[in-house]
Amino acid sequence: PAAREAEADEDLPSFVPAAEEEDSLAPSAELYDCEKGCGYRGTFDDVELHEQTCKYPDVTPPATVEEESQEETLNTAQLDLSDLFNASALTNLFQGLQHQLKHQQKRLGQLESQTHELEAARLAHAAEKEIWEVQQAELRHELERDKRMFDRKVRQAVRDSLGGLHVLQNELNREKGMKRLCAYMTDKEMKVQG
């Protein structure tokens, strides 16, 4: 029987008296209870670590929704009554709530700041995109204009070259005509003399 009691004692968690527990934690640390109901209390990380190895016997049969709500009401009433008579618990609860509220307000401020930064970045990106699209349209327009101008210059150069060739052809034809005329006149003169 003594061995069984020793084993049972090993299975149950070791409790830290409330006064020692409060002294060992930082004044701003938030306290959490073990959800298995063993009574262990500590910081969030400590309680999570404890719950992984907690051997508190959880042998209660699953309760119906009605029983759970009745039990919750009773537990809440008991907690409320016991906390009403414990000034340090109320102070700790109030300080914890104040700390939580400040933390949430700070986090909300950070989130709002991040939201403003993201919105500003989004607007800047949208403005840059719009500017880029305008620049692309202008560049496309300039390229099309330059291409039309180049094509016109090429056509003009071809026309000028063809015009020059036409002038040369006319001069060449006139020269040939003059040579023939000269040759004809020379032949005629020779016949008249001969």
More confident residue, 96 or 194: 96
pLDDT band of 159, cuts 50, 70, 90: confident
Q: Which residues contact 51 (CB under 8 A, 6 or more apart)?
A: 34, 35, 36
pTM equals: 0.33
Long-range contacts, stretch 35-43, CB < 8 angstroms, 24+ apart: 38/12, 38/13, 39/13, 39/15, 40/13, 40/15, 41/16
Mean predicted confidence (pLDDT) in 17-44? 69
**Average pLDDT taken over every residue of the chain:** 78
What is the pLDDT, as a whole number, of residue 15?
A: 45
